[in-house]
Amino acid sequence: DADVTQTPRNRITKTGKRIMLECSQTKGHDRMYWYRQDPGLGLRLIYYSFDVKDINKGEISDGYSVSRQAQAKFSLSLESAIPNQTALYFCATTPAGRTGGTQYFGPGTRLTVL
Amino acid sequence: GESVGLHLPTLSVQEGDNSIINCAYSNSASDYFIWYKQESGKGPQFIIDIRSNMDKRQGQRVTVLLNKTVKHLSLQIAATQPGDSAVYFCAENTPSYGKLTFGQGTILTVHP
């Protein structure tokens, strides 16, 4: 869905490198989320943001940080990448006022850490 | 140590059959439920949702059933088509958490 875009779509990096994944949305939503998906597992929440000044940790935030640069932009950083951070990463958005409601997902970023 | 990936439940059907995908949710306080479809190489896409004050909701070729007594959710797809082949996730919203909790997913394969 072009309303939520993620860059890069694929990335291969080495252990110890810092990497940033970016998410942009044109839906005008206040709430944005970062998830990771591993083979055979569901989506697990890393961080979420209800507005530009509100950042919250999800269930697996260790080793990650985020920045909400604007309403439309939410980036995820891996400070020092490690191989078990190899996964598919998704950004999602939701309108304000719909706590945990229907989320709209980006196409994903496939990250490989060697 | 490394975690071991789980094998997702799978459902194989013939084109034209009806499909039923099941999901057990965890929190009796959850008030809103969503089914998502994820095709290979894509992000999850919304299919249908249901609030806890309902037990059935119908969309185009899809029906969601909610049984709060046993905390069970199902997705029925009528006249399944090859394009329905994907991984299907249920998600629950628990108001006190302020975010969705996703199930593991079920792989649906539709054979022509």
Question: A103, exposed or middle or buried, with CB in 10 Å at 0-12, 13-18, 19+?
Answer: buried
B89 and A42 in contact by Cβ < 8 A? yes
Report cis status (omega within 30 of 0) of the bond before B82: no
The whole-number average pLDDT for the span B62-82 is: 96
Confidence (pLDDT) at A98: 55
In this structure, are residues B16 and B111 in contact, taking their beta carbons and an 8 Å threshold?
Answer: no
Confidence (pLDDT) at A42: 80
Of residues B91 and A101, the one with the higher pLDDT is: B91
For the beta sheet containing B56-58, the strands, ordered from the edge strand earlier in sequence to the opposite edge, are B19-24, B72-77, B62-67, B56-58
State the average pLDDT for chain B.
89
Per-residue DSSP letter, A26: S
Degrees, nearest 5: CA angle A19-A23-A29: 150
Which residue from A minimizes the CA distance to B5? A40
* One-letter identity of residue B78: A
Per-residue pLDDT tens digits for A55-76: 999 989 999 999 999 999 999 9
Q: CA–CA separation, A8 vs A111, rounded Å?
A: 9
Q: What percent of chain B has pLDDT over 90?
A: 71
Per-residue pLDDT tens digits for A17-45: 999 999 999 999 989 999 999 977 789 99
Which member of B43, B44, B99 has the closest CB to residue A100? B99
Q: CA–CA separation, B3 vs B87, rounded Å?
A: 21
Reply yes or no on whether the pLDDT at B103 is more than 60.
yes
Q: Which residues pair with A55 in a beta bridge?
A: A49
Which of B6, B93, B100 to probe by mutation at the A interface, max A CB count within 10 Å? B100
B40 to A22, A33, B34: CA distances (angstroms)? 21, 21, 20
Interface of A with B in 22-41 (CB under 8 A): 33, 38-41
Return the top range by mean pLDDT from A38-42, B33-37, B39-43: B33-37
Which member of B3, B7, B93 has the closest CB to residue A99? B93
Alpha-carbon Rg for chain B in angstroms: 14
Which of B102, B104, B106 to probe by mutation at the A interface, max A CB count within 10 Å? B102
Reply yes or no on whether the pLDDT at A51 is more than 60.
yes
Which member of A58, A84, A90 has the closest CB to residue B2? A84
Q: CA–CA separation, B50 vs B66, rounded Å?
A: 8
